Structure 1
């Protein structure tokens, strides 16, 4: 089956199956009358993210075996001491950047809002933070397996720069059916996708990209979205698209710069060693398929 599908068709089939699985989960929540509660309740969101991650990663793993004849472990999930230090540094940088950014906007009257310092004294805030961390890790995990691990594997026969742009674009597109065409969110997904793709290229670990992706989502909740008993800022209005876009661009540049500092010893666009080996198999497969296709063309 895998030999009959081009890399582009494999990406399409896997994306469609993943989106369909998420539609089934969302539909089930609606039938149970829990969809609105999911948006407001961190606990329900945590449970939903857990089930979606299990379903989607299992589905992607199955499709990888059928379409690509490879095991999901080959994508790279290792975590070493350097990786943990990188994640900690990324968390500090991201949190500092987002709090400073919103604080500057408020201070200079670009937006209206206040800092909820009293939340930091409440135990419930830290419990919600823990639940949010775990929930966002599950939510980010299946997106990283699909859009970084699988998409980039099937784009690896292209030039590196092309891969680093197409993967974020696909990452943005698969969010649209559920989140719409909000310009601020489109920028969030695209710039985030660029930074995660580059991080995966250099670190070779989906575990690292998953944790950084989760950090991004958690800090956005803390600063941008006026979530009751959780957001550290009470904003009079949601950030407009250009303010959100500026922040996402700043964060993207920061993560890419941080990634290069930690993992860039072998060059700016040189993939991690494990990915070079993994992707080389795919490149050879594409070459063989092309030769076979040309040989039967009259």
Structure 2
């Protein structure tokens, strides 16, 4: 059965629906005078991440089934032993990079009173709050990965792999406007992050793995950079600049990309995981009565280097 709309229309509707949903949710929180709690209470942030993550993941599943005529779980949810090993390495890389940057940033201005609270690591209440925060980020990241990687790649796969990554990462950055605003540095940071998570998904074929990498990154930032929450292990005397945050993002992404290629690159830099290649090849052979929006390419073009 062919999809109801062409890829460009499906992507456009997904983005509009996401913006409407997020602004509606933020509006409800504002009316209830709860919006500030998202910025200051870690448990409340985690709860909202879980609520919105589950809601929007279900919405993307429904869109893929109804508009794309696809089966959502074919987008890639398998986890193999190699995937677990990669996820462990990527989580370690995220945490290590955050720790190194935190201590490096503190050492630049040693006399201004940057405070480390490493004694929290022995506090069971802190460990419980941190674990709940990670769960919240995992579910929130799953929602973003299902939309920005699974769904977007399913509609962009006729592009060459690099073009698909760039387009999906641009859309990923745009989806952060409701929470981050229209500011250059945050959007650029999320665009770079999107390239990383997209490449992890392209090579692993698993949304669980890209979600785990994504969640670990966000969680590491909470523990070592975001001093807004009581869960932070460091309080910077001088706020980190956007340039410092961008540098940390670029270095971490570079490290994750190298790890991804090391674990999954034997079949080539750009070749998708077998399950994604099979899914996209089947889609290219389906009848598409509403051609347009996304430029068509040969089946081979999606699997070869630029």
**TM-score surpassing 0.5?**
yes
**Does the 8 Å contact 2:6/2:288 carry over to 1?**
no
Counterpart Cα distance in 1 of 2:111 and 2:168: 33
Counterpart Cα distance in 2 of 1:139 and 1:111: 38
Q: CA RMSD in A?
A: 2.1
Q: 1:288 Cα deviation (Å)?
A: 6.2
**Aligned twin of 2:297:** none
2:163 counterpart SS class = helix
> Following superposition of structure 1 onto structure 2, how do residues 105-120 of structure 1 map, counting pairs within 5 Å?
105-109=105-109, 113-120=114-121
TM-score (norm 2): 0.89
Counterpart Cα distance in 1 of 2:132 and 2:111: 29
2:83 counterpart SS class = helix
Counterpart Cα distance in 1 of 2:179 and 2:252: 24
Q: Which consecutive unaligned segments of at least 5 residues does structure 2 have?
A: 293-306
Counterpart Cα distance in 2 of 1:163 and 1:65: 21
Q: Structure 1 or 2: larger helix share?
A: 1
1:238 counterpart SS class = coil
**Does the 8 Å contact 1:117/1:232 carry over to 2?**
yes
**Aligned twin of 2:31:** 31
**Aligned twin of 2:52:** 52
**Aligned twin of 1:154:** 155
Report Cα offsets for 1:194-235 as digits up to 9, x if no partner: 000000000000000111100010011111111343112111
Counterpart Cα distance in 2 of 1:153 and 1:286: 15
Count of aligned residue pairs for this structure pair: 291
Counterpart Cα distance in 2 of 1:225 and 1:47: 18
Query: CA, structure 1 residues 108+72, in 2 after alignment: closer, same or farther (shift >3 Å)?
Result: same
2:176 counterpart SS class = helix
**Aligned twin of 2:13:** 13
Report Cα offsets for 1:34-71 as digits up to 9, x if no partner: 22223222222222222212221121111112211001
Q: 1:177 Cα deviation (Å)?
A: 2.6
Query: CA, structure 1 residues 225+183, in 2 after alignment: closer, same or farther (shift >3 Å)?
Result: farther
Counterpart Cα distance in 2 of 1:183 and 1:115: 30
Report Cα offsets for 1:10-41 as digits up to 9, x if no partner: 11101211222222222222233322223222
**Does the 8 Å contact 1:184/1:240 carry over to 2?**
no
Report Cα offsets for 1:77-128 as digits up to 9, x if no partner: 0111211111111111111111112212222339952322222232222111
Query: CA, structure 1 residues 183+233, in 2 after alignment: closer, same or farther (shift >3 Å)?
Result: farther
Counterpart Cα distance in 1 of 2:78 and 2:268: 21
1:264 matched to 2:265? The reply is: yes
Counterpart Cα distance in 1 of 2:229 and 2:21: 30
Query: CA, structure 1 residues 273+238, in 2 after alignment: closer, same or farther (shift >3 Å)?
Result: same
Report Cα offsets for 1:147-182 as digits up to 9, x if no partner: 000001111000111011111111001111321133
Q: Which consecutive unaligned segments of at least 5 residues does structure 1 have?
A: 292-298
Quick check: 236-245 or 111-120, which moved more?
A: 111-120
**Higher RCO structure, 1 or 2 (CA under 8 Å, sep 6+):** 2
**Does the 8 Å contact 2:57/2:146 carry over to 1?**
yes
Counterpart Cα distance in 2 of 1:59 and 1:182: 27
**Does the 8 Å contact 2:149/2:198 carry over to 1?**
yes
2:175 counterpart SS class = helix
